[in-house]
Structure 1
Amino acid sequence: MLPPIDTIIENFELIEDDDMRLEYLIELGRALPPMPDALRTEANRVHGCESQVWIDAGVAEAAGTPRLALHGFSDSFIVRGFVALMLALYGGKTPREAAETDGLDLFRELRFGAHVTSKRSNGVRAMVERIRRDAAALAA
């Protein structure tokens, strides 16, 4: 189970060592709830990622309010960590809130830009665009 996004941010702020930050990212990926094989479809595949990434967005009612319910997976340990970050950030928001949230701000806030390849940065951008597009469609 993933910790709340605020806890994840606080934990990253405490870790100065780049290798330890990467290890924590991988731990977050390991904490992702399993994504059912039935959701690993071409329709849920995120294009633009070097690794294979799947994200499924739906809506679940929470206290009478529709909230974004996300599943995600990647075949790469590091990328799975980025999937976990995005799911922690966007999951539980209303579809409208999610559509208006820029996950790249979190990516920059956690200082990942300088420590990951441009292909991985592009993959995170593709995940953010996909989640925001799906959230906007669910909000409509």
Structure 2
Amino acid sequence: MKSFSVSSKNIVKNWYYIDATGKILGRLSSVISHYLRGKHKEIYTPHIDVGDYIIVLNASKISVTGKKIKQKLYHWHTGHIGGLKTIKFSEMIKKNPEKIIEKSVYGMLPKGPLGRKIFKKLKVYRGSVHNHYSQKPILLTI
């Protein structure tokens, strides 16, 4: 009996889209990372990218629980001395809501070259319009 090993010929990558309206950030991000990684497939292999493409629509309508709207902070550094920058969730949702979902999902993916490759399959849009109609994405209900 031979062991089954996944190759690029065996991998079929589908396109899914998710409407983020009213969804909780952490729960949505964990489902997205699950599908990006390919853990929902029976051919899942940890060291190979077998996941699907995910399109997230209405990122500006995402919700969070508790006091995170006022208290959650996002930090980054400019690279210059004293260049630590901070922004609140309430400001970030107005300014760049796509970045909120991207940062959340990126933290749930593996670190290194494989994680960066998987992350490129995530497409996040502020509104309900996207430019991936030719891929015929399937609605993913959560």
Relative contact order, CA 8 A, sep 6+: which one is greater? 2
**TM-score, length of structure 2 as denominator length:** 0.31
**TM-score, length of structure 1 as denominator length:** 0.32
| Higher helix proportion (structure 1 or 2) | 1
